[in-house]
Structure 1
């Protein structure tokens, strides 16, 4: 049945206006007024903004780490994402050295198949570069539609790749039309500082932050930016947490490097002091890069405002406090890294950003959806409200007030990193390709409804001739 969304205020990255939407065959068929409502389901959005569905470019669902596996999988994680106003996630597919890339991709398809309640895609980790990997990359792009590759500069002896791997990945990506992503921390320096801390008996969660100081993030970000410029390639820095990294990105952009930066809500509203909570509570806030001193928050907000950082990911990577995080009792290096963020990403940016005048309403849409769609080959099928786009829509009450709590969230994890935080603005109903996933704050979707998305190459449109370029 056709649907009409009426009486809402439509907000895109560039415009804010009042109009109605006609939805047919999963897409927005028309935008206007006074549609014939016969044989249509009418959805009243009075009092709500109508946003394009959020896109989370950074999730880790059903991911093994540190001898355990993330608590949220593609079912619970995507349901929680939908409650939070997200209709597409891009998850990180981890690879194993010496194995075909296709093997890892098949594993991630098995993890997600029949589970995702919203649409999804994958990034692909590159842990080594050799002739075998280089030969596979064109098939990864053409057959799987995976057009973004992630290189870790940290987690020595686990995920960390060397500089040669990063540089050769950048060179290959330039020719292949892929976007290279980096986790930018100097893993060798962290390894040294970590061993030194343990030798000195410093085992509490706060030492996770103290052994990963902002200097190691700034240095690695600058190094990656230099390599991207040298390769004349494109680079996306994930989870920027501090001034040092944001400044390196801004500096590189001024020099003409094709570099983009993502931050996360946790770095905008939480700070390093959370890792000092007593009774091992600080372990709840152990992720990498770590939380920083509070003054960094102003720098990150200003970078979002002036366009030096462009996107907001969640870095969703949830582990229970009891039974998982406590694996690191007595040794902070054994605390599984990550937090439950996916559900509150959009609302926190609205409440702390738009409501407090730090960013505009249109910037909010760009940061949570549109720019991500453009960078990762989903635009204009995703990331905007326009005729022909997927009917991924969020009916958002800008005045609703709530208190974030593990008691009311929809993630499978036993705590919430933002426990007790009062925010304004909440998704009321969420549609993915024209079907309700959340209706009046209730889940009405279906695990398995989510569709795997093959993405266009970097800088190209998702729904037109692949030779047509998109200025991003």
Structure 2
């Protein structure tokens, strides 16, 4: 059935205005005043904003790590995402050295088949560069529409790639039109610091942070940026957590390098003291990069406001406290890295960002949706409210108040890292391609309705466009 959303205030990355939206066949058909049509369902958005659906560029659903598997899969994870106002996720497909890339991609297709309630796509991890990989990458891009590649600079002897692999990936991405993503921490230095801490009997969760100091993130970020400049390529730094890394991205952009930065809500509202919680509670807050000293929070907020960081991902990678996180009792290196973030990403940015005057309403939409869609080849199908775009829409009540809690969240884990934090602003109704997924704060979607998205190649003109619009 056709739908018309009436009486709402439409907010995009560029504009805020009052209008109605007519939805036909899953697309936005018309934007105007006092719209009506035969056989149309009216959705009243009075008192609410109408945003483009959020795009989460950074999730790890049903991901193997440290002898276990992240708890939220493509069903529970995307349901939670939808409750939070996200209508597209891009998950990381992990590869194995010596195996064809297509095998890893098929594994991720099998994980997601008939499960997702919203649309989704994949990034591809690059762990090695050789003739076989170089031959397969163009095929992956053309046939699978996977146009972004992740290189780990950390997790020595597990995921970590060397600098040659990173540089050759950058060179290849330049040739093929891909966007290279990096987890920027110096894995070799971390490995040394971890071994030293364990040898000294330092095993509590706080040592996860103390053995991954901000200097190792800043160094790796700077190194990746320099290599990007040398390759004349394009780089996206994931989960920026500290002033040192944010500064390196700003410096690279000042030099004209095509470098982009993502942060996450956990780094904006939580700090390193959470890892000091007694009775092993600090394990709930173990992820990489770790939480930082509190003064880093305002640095990150200012970087978002000033455009030095451009996007917000969740880095969703949830593990139960009981039965998974507690694998690391007595040895912090065995605590599975990650947290349940996907559901609260958008509300936290709105409540802590827009409501407190740190960012504008239009910046909020750009940071959670539009810029991500542009960087990862989904715009204008996703990330905006315009005629012809998918009707991925969030009706958002800016005055709704709630307290974040594991008792009321929709993720499949036994804790919430933001427990007790009060937020103002909440999605009321969420549509994916014109169909209700959340309606009046209730789930009405269906597993399997989410579609796999093939993405366009990276558009290098984005950096020039952003300069012109500042």
For residues 105 and 67 of structure 2, the distance between their equivalents in structure 1, rounded to whole angstroms, comes to: 21
Q: What whole-Å deviation, never above 9, does each CA across 1:271-321 have from its counterpart, x for those lacking one? A: 000000000000000000000000000000000000000000000000000
Partner of 2:284: 284
What is the Cα deviation at residue 35 of structure 1? 1.8
Residue aligned with 1:235, SS: strand
Distance 2:326 2:444 in 1: 35
For the Cα contact (< 8 Å) 2:97–2:127, is it kept in 1?
yes
Q: Which residue of 2 aligns with 1:312?
A: 312
Per-residue deviation, 1:470: 9.4
* TM-score computed with the length of structure 2 as normaliser: 0.98
* Distance in 1 between residues matched to 2:118 and 2:393, nearest whole Å: 12
State the match for 1:49 in structure 2.
Answer: 49
1:282 aligns to what SS in structure 2? helix
Give deviations 1:187-216, integer Å, cap 9, x for gaps. 000000000000000000000000000000
Show the counterpart of 1:169: 169
* SS of equivalent to 1:220: helix
Match of 1:263 in 2: 263
Matching residue of 1:350: 350
Say whether the 8 Å CA contact 1:28–1:385 is kept in structure 2: yes
Contact map agreement 1:459 1:470 (CA 8 A) in 2: no
**CA shift for structure 1 position 455:** 0.1
Residue equivalent to 1:275: 275
* CA shift for structure 1 position 460: 7.8
The runs of 5 or more residues in structure 2 that have no matched partner are none
Residues 1:233 and 2:236 aligned together? no
Aligned to 2:62: 62
- State how far apart, in whole Å, the 1-side matches of 2:208 and 2:460 are: 40
1:377 and 1:460 in contact (8 A); partners too:
no
Q: Is the 8 A contact 1:126 1:150 kept in 2?
A: yes
CA distance 1:450–1:460, shift in 2 (3 Å): farther
Equivalence for 1:465? none
Distance in 1 (CA, whole Å) between partners of 2:435 and 2:458 is 29
Deviation at 1:23, TM superposition (A): 0.1
CA positional deviation for 1:34: 1.9
CA distance in 2, matches of 1:276, 1:436: 42
Q: Deviations over 1:14-40 (max 9, x none)?
A: 000000000001100000012224310
How far apart, CA to CA, are the structure 2 residues paired with 1:146 and 1:470? 24
The runs of 4+ residues in structure 1 deviating greater than 6 Å are none
* Aligned-residue offset at 1:471: 4.1
Q: Structure 1 residue 77: deviation in Å?
A: 0.1
Distance (whole Å) between structure 1 residues aligned to residue 464 and residue 276 of structure 2: 46
Looking at structure 2, the residues matched to 28 and 423 of structure 1 have their Cα atoms a distance apart, in angstroms, of: 30
Q: Per the alignment, in what secondary structure is the counterpart of residue 398 of structure 2?
A: strand
Q: How far apart, in 2, do the equivalents of 1:10 and 1:97 lie?
A: 47
CA distance in 2 between partners of 1:164 and 1:97 (Å) = 15
Q: Is 1:429 matched with 2:429?
A: yes
Aligned to 1:245: 245
Distance 1:65 1:409, change over 3 A: same
